[in-house]
Amino acid sequence: MNANGFLQGLQGLQGLQSLHSLRGLCSLCGTGSSGGNTKQTQPALGDNIRSSGRAVLTALALSVFASVAQAAIIEVREGDRIQDAVNRAAPGDEILVYPGLYSETVYVDKDDITLRGVVEGDNWPHLDGKKQLNDAILYSGNGFSVEWFKITHYKGNAIMGQAGNNFSIRNNWVIDSGVYGIFPEFGENGLIENNILSGIEDAAIYVGMSDYIDVRNNQVFDNVAGIEIENSRHVLVEGNLAKNNTGGILVFITPGLPIKSSYDAIIRRNFVIDNNTPNFGIPGSLVSQIPAGSGIIVMSGDEVIIEDNVITGNNNAGIIITSQDFVTEIATDTGSDPNPDAVQIRDNVMFNNGASPEGEMKLLMLTKFSTTGPDILAYQGATAAERGSCISRRNAYRTHGVDDWADCDSPTIRANDAIAGREPSDSTRALATKMLPEPAAPRVINDDASGAEIVYQGICAGCHAYNVRLIGPPTLAIQAQYGEDAGSIAAYIANPEKKRPDFPTMPPQDHLSEPMRQLVAEYMLALTN
């Protein structure tokens, strides 16, 4: 895809947003912002795919960063190293990266750093891993902002957050960059907005163990998972286009992670279209078990509201609400509830879903003497009335398993809404953001046991759950392999090599200090579920 194709894609999404207006699914759009100090030569990406509440949201996003008036500006041009500029930068500084090819891994461990690309016409600052480097941008600092980069051909992650709070990831273009595209792990109060991602073998946007996050107006296509919200709380997923993925939007509780819950997620005003791409995830990984043709999947997540979306052309099913039993061979976690509770499905536009179900879905539909899948499926632990889920306009959809669900517009549900302080039958439309009104407290990582716990949660747990296979082997397997030999693990963290053919090579974490690597290794070996 060239730059013109990128911008055409944004214009296409603008047309889809217009469809929202025609259907009454979104409010009048406000004035957009490019995030401050952006050259006029840059395309007005935010203008093309903004939604209601933009002025408020932009103000919130900008409030989490240091005052620009006190910041120094460091310029990087082709032939320079971005990392050298980061090393020179002080908290509050802005690093401007001009068009050119940069092949490096950038690690930001300082607070309040802005990393901003300068786009001149069709020319972007281009981070290219050349299928040799693992990660493009890693950050552990608080108040980090990155925008206007083209990122291609990394093996691990395009942009990964490692326990940094108050982040903003906007206006980036990520293609064929490994396991995860945008991956904030164990962060609080963040914005992921106006990015385009394709060709990711796990999740294009992956929000892991994080709180108070907005995922707005992104385009994700040709990935295994478009947007995945895993073991996270207080998340708004709004105005995105999820098209031609294996699964469009996922809200999961994965067992074996330090954070045991996933709740208070709003999936609103998205276009979830034609997510029928065959699953090309890493064999044996959790995401590799997602069936193609899945629009939205809620697995074990609680208090999830799915409202005002356009969901069409997903061959397996439009919406699937299920327990952890939906994914085979997944270990249990006594600390987390495997069943989804209090899910609300409200006023979505759904058609042409379930045209060609596969696997277990196909067998399930045959028991109903049907060869097509449903718009909405409640399955396994999601069907019972006592789970507290509800659906509006159920007769407008083809459904299976929701007979015992309440009516979202019933007097009982309206009364429960009133008790909870929500508007009856219209519980999310007045909400502009899930981000905090003030910045979250900066996360401090010291070279001690408490710092090791944060590092494990912010880096290690994303690939090494305690007893569940994710991208890397479970922590339990690592404990069995190394016993009490923390030193060998610490050395391996800095300079990993491929040891097992059934797992990808681990990205090096040599940016961690030697004492911290040792502390993390000791923490991992002492960990219990």
Domain ranges (residues) in the chain: 7-65+143-419, 449-526
Q: How far apart are the C-alpha atoms of 157 and 434, rounded to whole Å?
A: 25
406: part of which helix (H) or strand (E)? strand 406-407
Write down the pLDDT at residue 169.
98
Structure tokens at 100: 């050119």
Per residue in 89-119, pLDDT (tens digit) is 999 999 999 999 999 999 999 999 999 999 9
Per residue in 143-198, pLDDT (tens digit) is 999 999 999 999 999 999 999 999 999 999 999 998 999 999 999 999 999 999 99
pTM, 2 dp: 0.82
Q: What is the CATH number assigned to the segment(s) 7-65+143-419?
A: 2.160.20
Structure tokens at 442: 């900066």
Write down the pLDDT at residue 51.
42
Is pLDDT above 80 for 42? no
Q: How far apart are the C-alpha atoms of 258 and 278, rounded to whole Å?
A: 31
Report the b/e string of 425-457 with b at 16+ CB within 10 A. bebbbeebbbbbeebbeebebeeeeebbbbbbb
Residues 6+ away with beta carbon under 8 Å from 194: 45, 46, 49, 170, 171, 216, 217, 218
Q: Which fold has domain 449-526?
A: Cytochrome Bc1 Complex; Chain D, domain 2 (1.10.760)
Band (pLDDT 50/70/90 cuts) for residue 49 is very low
Q: Decide if 519 contacts 448 (C-beta within 8 A).
A: yes
159: part of which helix (H) or strand (E)? strand 157-162
Per residue in 476-490, pLDDT (tens digit) is 888 898 998 999 889
Could you tell me the sign of the dihedral formed by the alpha carbons of 153, 155, 157, 159, in that order? negative
Q: What integer best gives the mean pLDDT of the chain?
A: 84
Alpha helices in 340-395 (DSSP H): 359-366
Q: How far apart are the C-alpha atoms of 334 and 458, rounded to whole Å?
A: 22
Q: How far apart are the C-alpha atoms of 490 and 61, rounded to whole Å?
A: 37
Band (pLDDT 50/70/90 cuts) for residue 295 is very high
Structure tokens at 231: 């073991």
Write down the pLDDT at residue 36.
35
Q: Decide if 77 contacts 98 (C-beta within 8 A).
A: yes
Residue 304, Cβ density class (10 Å: 0-12 exposed, 13-18 middle, ≥19 buried): buried
Q: What is the mean pLDDT of residues 324-334?
A: 66
Band (pLDDT 50/70/90 cuts) for residue 420 is low
Q: What percent of the chain has pLDDT over 70?
A: 81
Write down the pLDDT at residue 229.
97
3-state secondary structure of 333: coil
3-state secondary structure of 275: coil
**What's the Cα-to-Cα distance from 158 to each of 107, 137, 186, 529, rounded to whole Å?**
12, 6, 17, 29
Beta strands in 173-328 (DSSP E): 173-175, 180-185, 188-193, 196-198, 203-208, 211-216, 219-221, 225-230, 233-238, 241-243, 247-252, 263-268, 271-273, 294-299, 302-307, 310-312, 317-322
CA proximity to 108, closest of 20, 47, 169: 169
Helix/strand/coil (H/E/C) assignment for every residue in 286-304: CHHHCCCCEEEEEEECEEE
Per residue in 361-407, pLDDT (tens digit) is 777 776 766 778 899 999 888 998 889 999 998 999 999 999 999 99
Paired residues of 193 in beta bridges: 170, 216
Is pLDDT above 50 for 275? yes
Q: What are phi and psi of 83, to 5 degrees?
A: -60, -35
Q: How far apart are the C-alpha atoms of 48 and 51, rounded to whole Å?
A: 9
Residues 6+ away with beta carbon under 8 Å from 31: 54, 55
